[in-house]
Structure 1
């Protein structure tokens, strides 16, 4: 009976609105040349009653009799408002012709406010950038992270090299903060993070980010970047801000085929690599004027690049000078013989692969809406991406006896990490109106999994000649399910206090993190299951597990879950057009560490026509990720060209408790911003200053290495889990530091008439500085100065303070004349600085550690250019170049200590004591800090077809 009643109620819900709303407003949305603006939004002001323009630019609104203010808007165009008087049983024809706006990061936004009142980025109380599909088509980059790196000045992301899984998932930063301090939304719904935690020596070490490149660029209508703390509105992670990816709606067939490659010259050598083929396709279908479904797909095959240098170590086949080589002449003779042997065997001193990993990426994404009635809409989105990557590690020389089996690789080998990344997402929801209240109920699920297969490698601990050369090393998996209920209403008044928007909501989120073990030989010392002991060389143990990436052990494997519940209230009051005030409050409770309460207050004051002052004060938080709480493994890492077995333990390990470190707790932030906005004719500007204070930031500690001798705190602790002393050092996550970030964002844009055509100009910039204001260890660590030095070294501190450019300035110009479109952009990437872990002046191997092992890399300008020709309305050819003038970062240099002696002529030195920023000449450019990568010029051609 109840089921029958429910079905009858749903039938009435679908039928009655048709009888009540016999009136219609219909028409087309066109550009100044009469072309349809597909996907343009037509909305009745102060309501959620709206529609999207179809492939022919047509729209349809069902209304009751009355007078309406209706706004048509589209990304890249100026909005237009018209008044409509609708009588009973009337169909009113109302067309809109929109003028093109400048490429200015300055379009209609919904992010940062739950008001039904649409605003541009100059009208919002906090800074928001908008990057439209039209602008993304103009740029010379292919990946989403690289597009944003060159378009949004406050966003920074670079591909990493020789960093295991991080070679395949680019860490990103907003306002100089970490990858895990920016929240990513898709269509306003929380996106899941990756399964990978970055544990290698790159920017973002110890963090878990979101893989933006798992979303096809062809699926995106626009990108909204909220540059302000928003945890009180959207929950955990939104300390630096929020990135919202809005998917396409109803669009015509659009296909693009691109081919490009690096054509570059650096340090006297030419390169032609990184060959990239990319195919994009998207199409939106109208569902009988009741909704749409848009399907987009992307395929990319990107070749690897290599900018590695020559290995400068004097001996390749023997790790030490023989005792008889006590003279300069004897050493020169031995090195010459070693070089001759390498040349005869085909062992090249250019033995590394330092550059982009090779990647094959296929992704598909769908976005849909369907009106069940005038007041109820069903919507959803789904996506799947498969990314197959291949990256290389450090070359294993034949002289590294504990890591090699000469019967398999007589000349050594370059091990390779092959990743298979699967990313799945989906969401379904209902939204509509109940009386005057807007409501939205949704469920969103996402998961990311990474499988590791290691090739061209071996397990050196197995009996000579028996090791496989390929291993399955295990997997990581992260899944997230989010249920949201949001309600909002706009109240309008006749006095000075003209409107109040109220919004309330709740969120229930479940998370699941898994580590899956690899096959036995990928991690074992010998073969325990067959009672085969690990191989020894004299008294030294050979390295266990697959070289470059030992597999996850059964002891590492785990499945961990948690839940959290959040509730929020959001208010926004309008005092005519003079003043806008907002306030938000959010409470969240986590099953594993407790609760948090965040607030936010915003304001915008119109000073006079076109000029306004805006600001915000807020608190925020970031919950420790499940990865940071539970990740654990054992890996081989190279420190000063020496292989070390590094143990990563989680907060449940007795090792961590012996260091006196407790369970992880959330990071807490205080955000302040103050800005000035203005719009004067075609010219617009936003200038915003900000400060972000973060307490108890979670860091991945420096490595606590064993002390020389048998005593010492670290030795005592490690011996409890490693009595055979095969582990060289240990590291873990801890809330160890406080930071303060200050900065300034500027966006200026104008549209200038040049004859009958328009020149769009944009100047934007970000200037930021992060300082570590406190380093605090446990009572055990604070009591031992050597432990505190190793808790968070100078090198780790530089990752927070100086590994992201302190400034970025973006100048762009877009000019269209007849069938031609020209786009020019030049970006100034500010300086970055690498600081070594060892304090300059400290004595290392009897020699003072040099100050010039620290290195500052100077600012550089990188210029992109594209030229497009439209043969007709359907076919466009684009030629372009990223980094047109082939600019590279400053070259990393070998420090003064290295220049104090020559390995081949100084009989007192062993080359294994070398310390330099090039890792014995193999890294010509720094991999620890990066401004814009080091691949040089990339040229491409692209054919676009629309029909």
Structure 2
């Protein structure tokens, strides 16, 4: 070991001396980059050819770089012709870049395995490219929020009072589910979250990818492929693919810090990040990034309208049988107790939870053999996010859930989460027999731990319950091995070029549920637990609730450790048949150990009608494998209705109870994708893309609603089990999604020192349920069929997210100053009650415009300052329906929405409800 360590020290010393010798021979070249009109060009990349040594120009277009006297500088910028300039010993070089309308758009790699990338208006599929500059332009510091306000087809909002979903934002593309979009990092499959969304949020029953664990400072750009690509990338790529490219430059250190808060004085944010790039001689680079973010909660709850806090029923209502005079007297007593105890009727938190995130990412590569181009690379990161969110308040009258000797005024349980995420990509790439070869291994792990505080287990003897519990952990792990080959052939008869790509993949998934401590799920000290008398006056005794209030812990019977593997092979052909016609064909075969085989294919083409006008389209089929979380998630929870103890099971599809409903094992969702679009360039400075699409999905997986013993069939299936309800996953519905994407960009030079970029983008989509898949048992009972996928779930799937989103932005720069103005229109959403008899509380929330403004100044070369407002006009969604009889003064209290009781004012499915957010940011570069 000592010899090995000495050898490493010697190697480092040798490399250091070599690097020192090289630096000692270098010269410093300074200069200024302008366009054809003499306007300064900031942000232009200046590299020493053949190395990773480079820099970028400042706000005045100036640069300084230490290079070899015989070096060649490569000067490049989007929208300009790249220039290569020989230094020849000079120390001062000025560069004038010419516009190049063929490079006005970013070159993309997502959606094609061609050896050379194409501009995103020259591809067969629509791709959005979001640069690092756009990512840092506004106040959003989470990846999902950044994408929501930049990419119209992408949607994500923070949820509240939804257990684990409070801490892992469900994110969707083209109106489909969180698990129907595939996320890549540096082109490699990213692991999903351990969390399965089981609450009433967008994507209920689905498992998404937690993109917020990736620091924005680590991101070079994000490519959003808006098209089904399962034939190219495998499972999940039904709606499209999001490829996050990590930074790979060596231009020094960049750091920033953002502070802000909402107009209400809450939701404080402090965020700091940094990125550093270093060259490894002429052979490689190391790029490291880190982020710390602390976001405080904001609360937009309303007053609890329960008429009685201390003297009422468990729901806060008047006991039955009282006259109006008796109700008034009871109300007076209750008001006196409220005043005496200082009870605050704003008793829950509705809004974003407290979260703290810290983590780091690495991206590095090193050329092992320059002659063959053999390169080793590594990328990955470690992130921890802790959070604290509230559940529903337990009133002092809820005697089955409260121990008054511990909480005489009731209590608000808090769900504390710890999300740990680790990933690492390692690989080798080079040339083998004329093919570009890439061998990689990608490992990812995501875990979500629950700790419940300010709580109790009401079933324990009075005064003995702890007030905090460890409630268990969810874990998901994935390891993927990829081997791919690609080659561009140019000497093929008839066709201009042919790019051939093929390869294979082997993946292992693992899902675990770890039980909580006994007190988090235990039912007292015996099988029955503590006996209580309900506050409603009913003398019939009942049992107190078992487990920690707010979130009952996972039980040993819930614990699981399941794995599966899959093997895949793919072939991808892309050819410029002629100078005008580009055709792409892809096919993929997969075999999963838990459900079998799948074969998918795709045909795409682009045809240039005129030099600046082309049509493109694709047809293909895809699939999504059921996640392990959906296959094996099991949970037992205790719920109460009118003081009655109710055990509810969430069972997996291997459970005999699920099979008793006629529901078989989960199988893959199958899709058919169609798209047709056009791309155009108008007046050289304007690019336009319009793409229409249709996505048909069969056997879509949903989480059923709760089946209760009130139904004779359910009662027979549950038999003597001590449970009153059950729910499960099933391939229950077939859907069709149709939509239209429009993107237009224009870049204008208004004078020697001013520039303007205009963007208009929109997505319009509509999802409809075309059919249901159940079983003979469920079909024979209409009540069972309606519960499998009730009208509330259908509304959430069809109308629970904006059916349209329009993004308009203008970025103006004048000398050292810039202004960014953006307004986003979030289309209407709808909610429906599960019970058709309560359809009168169905609601449509109207479309709203949300406007952001940022003003910036490049004070000196290394320092820029920004101030801004998100949601400049303090726009909120429409308010939720409030029952006029559901108020604290009413003597005829209605229980139509007893859970809400006036505390939830807004829906969180459109764009959130934090209101205006003011912020300041400092950017440093070295």
Q: 1:446-465, aligned counterparts within 5 Å?
A: 446-465=444-463
Distance 1:473 1:35, change over 3 A: same
2:763 corresponding residue in structure 1? 766
Which runs of structure 2 are paired with 1:252-267 in the superposition (5 Å)? 252-263=252-263
Matched, 1:752 2:748: yes
Provide the residue aligned with 2:226 in structure 1. Answer: 227
Written as runs of structure 1 = structure 2, the 5 A alignment for 1:848-887 is 849=838, 851-887=839-875
Task: Describe the superposition over 1:403-441 as per-residue Cα deviations: whole angstroms up to 9, x where unpaired.
Answer: 111111111000000001100000110001124210000
Task: Provide the secondary structure at the position in 2 that maps to 1:825.
Answer: strand
Separation in structure 1 between the aligned mates of residue 603 and residue 231 of structure 2, nearest angstrom: 10
Q: 1:885 to 1:172 in 2, by over 3 A?
A: same
Q: How does 1:591-602 map to 2 (within 5 A)?
A: 591-602=593-604
Q: Aligned-pair distance for 1:338?
A: 1.0
**Partner deviation per Cα, 1:111-152 (whole Å, 9 max, x = no partner):** 111112221110000000000001112122121111100000
Deviations 1:383-407 (A, max 9, x none): 0000010000000001111111111
Distance 1:238 1:52, change over 3 A: farther
Aligned-pair CA distance for 1:30: 7.9
Tell me the CA shift for residue 35 of structure 1: 7.2
What CA distance in whole angstroms lies between the structure 2 residues aligned with 1:663 and 1:219?
Answer: 41
- Specify which of 886, 899, 916 is matched with residue 937 of structure 1: 916
Q: Deviations over 1:789-810 (max 9, x none)?
A: 1110000011110011010000
Does the aligned pair in 1 maintain the 2:542–2:645 contact within 8 Å? no
Q: Could you say which residue in structure 1 is the equivalent of 2:273?
A: 280
Secondary structure of the structure 2 residue equivalent to 1:210: coil
> What is residue 655 of structure 2 aligned with on the other side?
653
Q: Cα deviations across residues 462-508 of structure 1 (Å, max 9, x unaligned)?
A: 00110000000010100000100010000013765110000001000
Pair 506,316 (structure 1): closer, same or farther in 2 beyond 3 Å? same
Once the two structures are superposed, what CA deviation does each residue of 1:602-652 show, in whole Å capped at 9, x if it has no partner? 000000011100001111100000000000112356889999643211112
1:920 aligns with 2:901: yes
Alignment of 1:20-419 (within 5 A): 31-32=33-34, 53=54, 77-78=78-79, 80=81, 106-250=105-249, 251-263=251-263, 271-320=264-313, 326-374=322-370, 375-419=373-417
Q: Return closer, same or farther for 1:188/1:59 CA change in 2, 3 Å cut-off.
A: farther
In the alignment, structure 1 residue 605 sits paired with structure 2 residue 607: yes
Structure 2 counterparts to residues 459-498 of structure 1, below 5 A? 459-493=457-491, 497-498=495-496
1:438 and 2:436 aligned:
yes
Residues 299, 352 of structure 2: 8 Å contact kept = yes
- Asked if 2 retains the 8 angstrom alpha-carbon contact of 1:431 and 1:440, the reply is yes
Counting only pairs closer than 5 Å after superposition, residues 622-661 of structure 1 correspond to structure 2 as 622-636=624-638, 645-661=647-663
TM-score by length of 2: 0.89
CA deviation map 1:368-392 (0-9, x unaligned): 0111122111111020000010000
Secondary structure of the residue aligned to 1:790 is helix
CA contact (8 A) 1:655 1:717 kept: yes
Counterpart of 1:706 in structure 2 is 709
- Picking from 803, 806, 824, the partner of 2:803 is 806
* Structure 2 counterpart of 1:19: none
The whole-number CA distance in structure 1 between the counterparts of 2:168 and 2:100 is 34
Alignment correspondent of 1:689: 692
Q: Deviation per CA, 1:22-66: give whole Å up to 9, x if none.
A: xxxx999985377785777899xxxxx9968457787999xxxxx
Closer, same or farther in 2 for the Cα pair 1:693/1:324, shift >3 Å?
closer
CA–CA distance in structure 1, aligned partners of residues 116 and 182 of structure 2: 24
Contact 1:319 1:400 in 2 (8 A): no
**Pair 1:328–1:678, CA change in 2 (3 A):** same
Task: Give 1:336 shift.
Answer: 2.5
CA gap of 1:629–1:319, structure 2 versus 1, over 3 A, is farther
What TM-score comes out, normalization by structure 1 length?
0.87
The RMSD of aligned alpha carbons is: 3.1
1:585 Cα deviation after fit: 0.3
- Number of the residue aligned with 1:17: none
Is the contact between residue 648 and residue 730 of structure 1 (CA under 8 Å) also seen in structure 2? yes
- By how many angstroms is 1:257 displaced? 1.1
Partner of 2:774: 777
Alpha carbons of structure 1 residues 137 and 344: separation in structure 2 relative to 1, 3 Å? same
**2-structure distance, mates of 1:41, 1:739:** 50
Cα 1:639–1:179, aligned 2, differ >3 Å: closer, same or farther? farther
Distance 2:147 2:557 in 1: 40
Separation (CA, whole Å) in 2 of partners of 1:42 and 1:854: 63
Partner of 1:838: 835
SS in 1 for 2:739: strand
In structure 2, the residue matched to 1:559 is: 561
SS of residue matched to 1:551:
coil
Aligned-residue offset at 1:165:
0.5
Counterpart contact for 1:704–1:790, Cα < 8 Å: yes
Matched residue of 1:401: which SS? coil
Please give the alpha-carbon distance, in whole angstroms, between the structure 2 residues aligned to 1:415 and 1:854.
30
8 Å contact 2:748–2:756 — kept in the other structure?
Answer: yes
Distance 1:636 1:349 in 2: 26
Whole-Å separation in 1 of the counterparts to 2:99 and 2:918: 29
Gaps of 5+ in 2: 1-27, 57-62, 534-539
Cα displacement (A) at 1:903: 7.5
What whole-Å deviation, never above 9, does each CA across 1:273-321 have from its counterpart, x for those lacking one? 0111000100000110211000000000000010000111111124437
The separation in 2 between residues aligned to 1:156 and 1:902, in whole angstroms, is: 37
User: Within 1, Cα distance between the matches of 2:80 and 2:433?
Assistant: 28
CA spacing shift, 1:465–1:285, aligned 2, 3 Å: same
Provide the C-alpha distance between the structure 2 equivalents of 1:310 and 1:492, rounded to a whole number of angstroms. 71
Q: Secondary structure at the match of 1:713?
A: helix
CA 278–608 in structure 1, closer or farther in 2 if over 3 Å, else same: same
Equivalent position of 1:737 in the other structure: 733
- Mapped contact 1:153–1:765 kept (Cα < 8 A): yes
Q: Distance in 2 between matches of 1:322 and 1:795?
A: 29
Structure 1 position 902, deviation (Å) = 9.1
Shift of 1:659: 1.0
Give, in whole Å, the separation in 2 of the partners of 1:80 and 1:568: 36
| TM-fit CA distance, 1:719 | 3.5
Change (3 A) 1:237 1:324: closer
